[in-house]
Structure 1
């Protein structure tokens, strides 16, 4: 995992309507200074009206003068996307932290990219990078309609003899046949997927059925809510000890570790509070975490060296953290 933790106020330089319900936002340094470097798949945290939200960078990593993010207006928004669409305007300042990358593009001879809706944003930058490396790929982009699908033109420009782009609006072609897409993937291809939970779960299941789950890389919009739901009503309290500060707190069945710590004055960076951004990752000294994030790899979870305290719980009675 990589990514700087700098935070700075950036200027909203331009806002562009990319599709129905989708605005892109160009952010620049107020004094024109170059911005921290980033790699395809990275995201930044934006402070929006008292909320912190994560958005994938979808511009050009070689352009250090600006960051570009794209924001879908979510009817179920808790305030982040509504703030961007209704309140944020060119000339305003936004506190930005990052960039951070938990979705790096690994090297491979070929790729299959599967995007759903606004999930196109990190995959667009990865497809550009893969093309620059001279690799072949297939890019499957599903959306409700063409009008709702952002960056179709930018994506289509990348198509050539080695790089195939398939736009799949549901209102024209029905639901994307993921079994067919995955079954036709070239041998050894890495699969990168980003989109709603229904899409990512289906791709995960399809790769597992084909025995290629190890070649799948997924970026999630939300945490493992389904896992938490399965345990609803079965949660129990446990203790968390902060080794360096000497504070011990009981985490109740209905609260998170980060909330319990904040209640006793131990304040952590916790941007998304949904297990997807990695901000609240903390070293574990003792105990067995119950990992429920979408950031750590299977190997990292098995090692139990760190935990994301916004969503994790504890399998043992006590968890000792390096705090």
Structure 2
């Protein structure tokens, strides 16, 4: 991603955000695509989508979310409340005089797109979710669902989150950053089942400084970039996304939402990653069925959690076909 396309703005909440921006080609009539990343990837996650869509004339906005990259990195989980994060996104759009976007989320980026839809639906013309589906503001603490999910899928799918919220987690990860990268971006999905999804497994892996083969989609240069991006700002900010959920900082604000605000009227795309060990398609399918009231498209790719990178060609083809079928899409 061309560093010359990165810009900065200060939001009304007082945070400096860095984001990638490329306007639509003049006269193209093509929409602006808003790509929302999760943990622990920064705007770098979407490099293959930017390389595909920008030359075709689509507008592109890819923020480094709060805690990541060139954006501010507060360490108070209360600052990662969903409405606040959504407000920050509208400030970025306003800085570029963008009225509406097609919003696309992955991992925690899907959570942000969900809150964006809740609080500022008029700014989103259509929405897409990869791996992690739409997350309605239902007032549920994710951690309280651990046992229920374990019973449902047969293993402790969210075990790693109990490590991520520990006071020393950031320091442990920073000390053994290469081991962390190898765990989060494994060559085979089974690495997650055997370590990330075992109580104490993530800590044990990282503290022992264990490494494994990198997947083909993550080059040595990619790994070096991740290493530098994560260590330059540390992990305390990114881990606040998990702590905010556990500390229920969103509940009071989300409780004010009228029930109708949880329903999604916009055209809706969900792409399941069939080998994802954590974000199982069944979870997303349930929320789609319950809340998506407009036209729904469901697709799947045969990748793990990082299908955005490993199956970029296939995913980009799905996305461009779906966008082409939207009102005003090209």
- Structure scoring higher RCO (CA < 8 A, sep ≥ 6) equals 2
TM-score, length of structure 2 as denominator length: 0.28
Structure with the higher fraction of residues in helix conformation: 2
